[in-house]
Amino acid sequence: MRLDFDSLPAPPPPDEPGNDLPACLRVDAQLRLAVAREAGRLRLTDRHEAGAFRFRMPRRTPDAIEALMVNVAGGLAGGDRLALVAEAGEGASLVIGSAAAERIYRSGGDTTRMKMSLKAESRAQLCWLPAETIIHKGARLMRDFSITLAPDSQLLLGEMVQIGRIASGERFTSGSWHDRWRLGIGGKLVLAEEFHLKGEEPRSGHPGALAGQPFMATLILAMPDAGERLAGIREAFGSEPTVQAGATSHSGLVFARALSSNDVALRRAFLSAVRAAAGGDLPLSRLLMLQ
């Protein structure tokens, strides 16, 4: 299956005339991975890699299959595209991570577009735990997450985003970032978010502009008893005084978001929250948890 980028909202108009490379020279990556449990064993039922992205499989155990995304192009820039489909079949466990942080470089006018489709069938476990995304000054990024879950499946999604190269003194004063999230459980939409940030806005202290903080973490836990782990997730994010965080629970879903000016403190709190969300029941990305 090839994801249709035309279904994404139209990107905002560029701040300046585009001078990116022609489409024939841009990254157009397609990733597809499906796992199933058959006769008590986990196995891959579909694997497809096209373009600059590859899967590497460091762990295949009776408990879970782990796949790391590797971008052999070394980053994404204006006009690049990535489409990913990941499916955990009935009773299967799949962990998706990444080998390194993903950099979104400055654009000459075109938009980097990423579309992720995640699906977990009955009694399946699906964990999306990549390394952080670093959005450079002048980048233009649009991401679309479409998540479909069975009522008795389990999802753990966690990610960190860095806006600007802070250690180099770079702030995100130009460019744009647009996220679209849709999550359904049992055919019912339980989470929908549209997020659009322009380059000038991170300097604002308004919560809608990330309160001026350059580091953000998002955590989503979906399972029938997800609300029972809300207190532990809140405690984990609250363990670092420089981290501003909020978490809520409804309809078998916990949604948490955290902001900070200190990436080390946010990472500690985020990894602690991931462990609290997993609760010893969900498989985790070993590479991420070693950071």
Render pLDDT for 20-62 as a digit per residue (tens, 0 to 9).
766 767 889 999 999 999 988 999 999 999 999 999 988 666 7
Predicted confidence band at 10 (pLDDT cuts at 50, 70, 90)?
Answer: low
Q: Which two tokens stand for residue 11?
A: 């990107």
The model's pLDDT over 74-129, given as tens digits with 9 standing for 90+, comes to 899 999 999 999 999 999 999 999 999 999 999 988 999 999 999 999 999 999 99
Residues 140 and 16 sit within 8 Å (Cβ to Cβ): no
Tens-digit pLDDT profile for residues 202-247: 556 666 678 788 999 999 999 999 999 999 999 999 999 999 999 9
Return the ∠ at Cα 162 (arms to 261 and 203), rounded to 5°.
55
Pairing of strands 176-185, 188-198: antiparallel
3-class secondary structure, 228:
helix
pLDDT tens across 240-260, in order? 999 999 999 998 999 999 999
Q: Which residues face 259 on adjacent strands?
A: 216, 244
From CA 163, how far away is CA 184, in angstroms rounded? 28
Report the distance separating Cα 186 and Cα 122, nearest Å.
10
Work out whether strand 188-198 and strand 140-149 pair parallel, antiparallel, or are unpaired: unpaired
Provide the 10 A C-beta neighbour count for residue 243.
24
Angle 106-30-27 from CA coordinates, rounded to 5°: 30
